[in-house]
């Protein structure tokens, strides 16, 4: 009975069924300070983050590479940190996760660092 319960817990709680992409914050400002963290979040059968699991991923900046600097790139844990330079625009990052069927693109707008009247 314990073996069946352990198997069910492993299959529904610890197994990765899909991945989600966390982008925090959703936009950057062209101030040479703003950073964004893109993380690949493994989800279990209930749609919760799978405990004690990570999802390796490859990150490729396909658009706006000249607008950001890569602060940290941890492909083993699926985390990318970018810092905006001093130009507004749009950055597109292509994410190829080990646990996803198809690659996904994430777009991050870089807003001008001025106030409008």
Model confidence pLDDT, tens digit, residues 71-103: 999 999 999 999 999 999 999 999 999 989 899
User: Above 90 in pLDDT, residue 8?
Assistant: no
Of 36 and 101, more confident: 36
- CA neighbor of 29 nearest in space, from 85, 69, 76: 85
The residue length of the chain stands at 117
Q: What is the pLDDT of residue 116?
A: 59
Residue 60 token pair: 């490729």
Identify whether the C-beta of residue 98 lies closer than 8 Å to the C-beta of residue 55: yes
Question: Distance between CA atoms of 9 and 78, rounded to whole angstroms?
Answer: 24
DSSP-derived secondary structure letter, 49: B
pLDDT band at 115 (very low <50, low <70, confident <90, very high): low
Question: Distance between CA atoms of 38 and 78, rounded to whole angstroms?
Answer: 8
Q: What is the pLDDT of residue 46?
A: 92
Q: What is the pLDDT of residues 40-68, one digit of tens each?
A: 999 999 999 999 999 999 999 999 999 99
- CA neighbor of 82 nearest in space, from 63, 104, 55: 63
Least confident of 8-12, 17-21, 86-90: 8-12
- Map out the domains of the chain with their CATH numbers: 2-111 (2.60.40.10)
User: Above 90 in pLDDT, residue 37?
Assistant: yes
The answer to whether the pTM exceeds 0.75 is yes
For the chain, how big is the Rg over CA atoms in Å? 18
Question: Distance between CA atoms of 82 and 44, rounded to whole angstroms?
Answer: 28
Q: Which residues contact 26 (CB under 8 A, 6 or more apart)?
A: 108
């Amino acid at each position: 009975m314990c073996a069946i319960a352990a198997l069910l817990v492993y299959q529904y709680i610890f197994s990765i069924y899909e991945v989600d992409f966390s982008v925090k914050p959703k936009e950057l400002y062209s101030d040479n300070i703003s950073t964004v963290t893109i993380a690949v979040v493994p989800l279990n059968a209930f749609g919760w983050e799978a405990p004690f699991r990570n999802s390796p991923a490859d990150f490729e900046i396909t658009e706006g590479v000249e607008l950001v600097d890569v602060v940290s790139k941890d492909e083993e844990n699926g985390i990318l940190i970018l810092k905006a330079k001093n130009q507004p625009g749009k950055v597109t990052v292509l994410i190829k996760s080990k646990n996803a069927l198809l690659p996904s693109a994430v777009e991050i707008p870089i807003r001008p660092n001025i106030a409008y009247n």
